[in-house]
């Protein structure tokens, strides 16, 4: 049986970078997002969120309806989203205009202290470089919804998970 060559070649790095593209609006490649069930996703814990009812916040309900939509670099519609395309699309569904770029979204609205987080607030993370490079929408309790990297789909995760809590940058309220 022959041996396997495990050396990393320059084209390996380029291929990996293309496969793990970040939000198109940042142009960077994020550190790998945790996949559900992986050790880096944090420990499993029961959901503190209640599924929206007819009277629930329209913004959160619109976001939750998009769970499972695949990540698409530069995507801004239900055929595929990147992080800021997802947030822009969801906010547009409720009549709120939001800039397209993560950095511009971070400048929108009001800065909110972490202890005043509410469903519908934008939550920002540093996944590529210092400052905001990834965005999601708070949905209540410890949870947020977002469009993660190229191997993911729109999904709900915990703000308190180690991956996200270490990369948390801030909150903006624009609704």
Positions annotated as catalytic residues are 83, 134, 146
Q: Are 62 and 137 in contact (CB under 8 A)?
A: no
Tokens of 25: 């609006």
Alpha-carbon gap, residue 143 to 9, rounded angstroms: 39
* 3-state secondary structure labels for all residues of the chain: CCCCCCCCCHHHHHHHHHHCCCCCCCCCCCCCCCCCCCHHHCCCCCCCCCCCCCCCCHHHHHHHCCCCCEECCCCEECCEECHHHHHHHHHHHCCCCCCCCHHHHHHCCEECCHHHCCCCCEEEECCCCCCCCEEEEEEECCEEEECCCCCCECEEEECCCHHHHHHEEEEEECC
């Amino acid at each position: 049986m022959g041996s396997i060559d495990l050396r990393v070649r320059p084209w390996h790095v380029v291929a990996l970078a293309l496969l793990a593209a970040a939000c198109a609006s940042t142009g960077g490649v994020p550190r790998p997002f945790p996949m559900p069930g992986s050790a880096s996703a944090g420990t499993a814990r029961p959901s503190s969120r209640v599924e929206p009812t007819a009277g629930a916040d329209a913004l959160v309900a619109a976001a939750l309806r998009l769970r499972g939509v695949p990540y698409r670099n530069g995507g801004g519609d239900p055929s595929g989203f990147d992080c800021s395309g997802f947030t822009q699309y969801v906010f547009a569904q409720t009549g709120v205009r939001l800039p397209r770029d993560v950095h511009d979204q971070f400048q929108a609205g009001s800065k909110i202290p972490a202890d005043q987080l509410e469903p519908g607030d934008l939550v920002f993370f540093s996944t590529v470089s210092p400052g905001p490079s990834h965005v999601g929408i708070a949905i209540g309790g410890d949870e947020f919804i977002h469009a993660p990297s190229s191997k993911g789909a729109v999904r709900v995760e915990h703000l308190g998970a180690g991956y996200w809590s270490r990369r948390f940058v801030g909150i903006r309220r624009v609704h």
